[in-house]
Amino acid sequence: MTSLSFEDLPVRDDLRGQSPYGAPQAPVPVALNVNENTHPVPDEVVADVVAAVAEALRGVNRYPDREFTELREGFARYLGHGLDASNIWAANGSNEVLQHIMQAFAGPGRTVFGFAPTYSMYPLLARGVGSDWVAGTRGEAFEIDPADAAAQVREARPDVVLLCAPNNPTGTPLPRDVIEAVYDATDGVVVVDEAYAEFSRGAGSALPLLEGRERLVVSRTMSKAFAYAGARVGYLAAHPAFVDALRLVRLPYHLSALTQAAAVAALRHAETMLRTVDDIVAQRDRIAAGLADLGYAVYPSGANFVLFAGVPDPRAMFSALRERGILIRDIGIPGHLRVTAGTVEESTLFLEAMADLTP
C-alpha cells in the first residue's frame, strides 16, 4: 500500500495543518497525566453495575430509550437546585456534550471564545464545526477579572463562550461574578464546564445561576469524581428550550442501553462513588505542599491536579520521570508541568522522584 497521509485526501481546508487531541498513553506504573480518578470503582458498586448491564443486555436487540429518561432523572436528583429531567442532557463524555453545543450554536461563520490557557479540546471542537476560535487572556496567575473578562467578550462578540471552572490545565477556580459578568456581556451561549466541580472546596457551582439565564449552561462529567472515565458519560444542565435544541444535532439513539444502565447504577451509589474525593483532595494538597518545599511555584487548584512552575526544562523533566515509570503532563506552557493527584503510594513515588531530580 502506498504511503498516504490525511493531508493527501480531500480533507476540509480549515482542518489542514491541525493536530488531533492526544495525551500520551503508555503502560507505566504511575500514570498521573490525564486527570483520571486513580481509585478504582468500589466492589459493591461494580456488582450493581454489572447486574444492571447484564439486565440491559437482555433487551439489547432493541434500540435504547432515545430520551434516556431514567438517566436524566438521576442526574437531576444528583445536581439538585430544583432541576428536573427537562433541564438535563447527556452524551458519551462531556466532550460529546460540548460537541452537541457546538453543532447547535456554533458552526461556519460563528465564533467560539475562551480564556487561554484552557482545555485544549475547546479550539478543536470549535474548528471541528467550522467555527473561528478566539483566545482571550488571563492574569499573571491565570486568574480572570470580571470587568476585564466582560470587556474581552464584548470586543470578541462570540456566539459561544467556554468557561472552564475550575480551569484545566491551571486548576484556577472561577468565581461566580466572572460568570455573571461574561453572561451579561454577550448575547451568545455561555457554557460553564464543571468537569472538576466535585474537587472544588468553597468555590461554588454555577448551578444556582441557571434560573433566569436561558443561555447559560453547566456541563459536568462522570469521568473524574465518579471514577467513570472509561464509561464515557457526560451531561449538562440548562433551560429546557436549550436542551430541545440539542435534539436537532444528536445522532439517533446516541447513548447505548449499556451506557445508560451503567450510569444509572453508578448514580444510585453516588455517595459511595464520591468517597474518594476527600482522599484525592488531600493528595492534591500534599503534592502542592511537597513541590513548594522543593522550590517550585505552585498554583492554587480547585481540581484533582496541580500545575507548578519553575521547571528549567519541562521536556527533560517529563522524560526523566517517565524513565522512572511516572507519567505526568507537559502542557506546553514554558517552565510548567502538571501532575494529577494519585493514591497515597503514587503521590509518594512522584514526590520522591521530584526530590531526586531537583537540583
Strand (E) or helix (H) holding 340: strand 336-340
CB neighbour burial string for 167-199, b if at least 16 within 10 angstroms, e if fewer: bbbbbbbbebebbbbbbebbebbbbbbbbbbbb
| Residue 1 within a domain | no
Same domain, 59 and 103: yes
Same domain, 223 and 351: no
What's the CA gap between 263 and 255, in Å, rounded? 10
Q: Which domain holds residue 222?
A: 43-272
What's the CA gap between 236 and 192, in Å, rounded? 9
| Residue 257 within a domain | yes
| Residue 170 within a domain | yes
Same domain, 303 and 242: no
Same domain, 186 and 265: yes
Instruction: Give me the number of domains the chain comprises.
Output: 2
The CATH code of the domain that includes 85 is 3.40.640.10
- Residue 353 to residues 30, 89, 120, 144, 332, Cα–Cα distance (Å): 12, 43, 28, 33, 21
| Residue 218 within a domain | yes
Beta bridge partners of 217: 191
| Number of CB atoms found within 10 A of residue 270's CB | 15
Same domain, 282 and 255: no
What's the CA gap between 319 and 327, in Å, rounded? 9
Strand 132-136 relative to strand 160-164, pairing? unpaired
- Tell me the CA end-to-end span of the chain in Å, nearest whole number: 50
Same domain, 149 and 227: yes
Boundary residue ending a domain (210, 237, 272): 272
Same domain, 167 and 143: yes
Same domain, 91 and 11: no
The CATH code of the domain that includes 320 is 3.90.1150.10
Instruction: DSSP letter for 78, please.
Output: H
Strand 234-237 relative to strand 88-91, pairing? antiparallel
Same domain, 121 and 15: no
Boundary residue ending a domain (223, 246, 272): 272
Report pLDDT for 189.
98
Beta bridge partners of 338: 307, 329
| Residue 157 within a domain | yes
Same domain, 347 and 218: no
Residue type, 15: L
Report pLDDT for 5.
77
What's the CA gap between 233 and 266, in Å, rounded? 11
Low-confidence ranges of the chain (pLDDT < 70): 1, 24, 202
Boundary residue ending a domain (245, 272, 299): 272
Same domain, 112 and 170: yes
Report pLDDT for 7.
77
Strand ranges (E), 154-312 = 160-164, 189-193, 216-221, 234-237, 297-298, 305-309
Is the omega angle on the peptide bond into residue 158 within 30 degrees of 0, that is, cis?
A: no
| Residue 180 within a domain | yes
Residue type, 164: C
Residue type, 161: V
Same domain, 294 and 177: no
CB neighbour burial string for 15-33, b if at least 16 within 10 angstroms, e if fewer: eeeeeeeeeeeeebebbbb
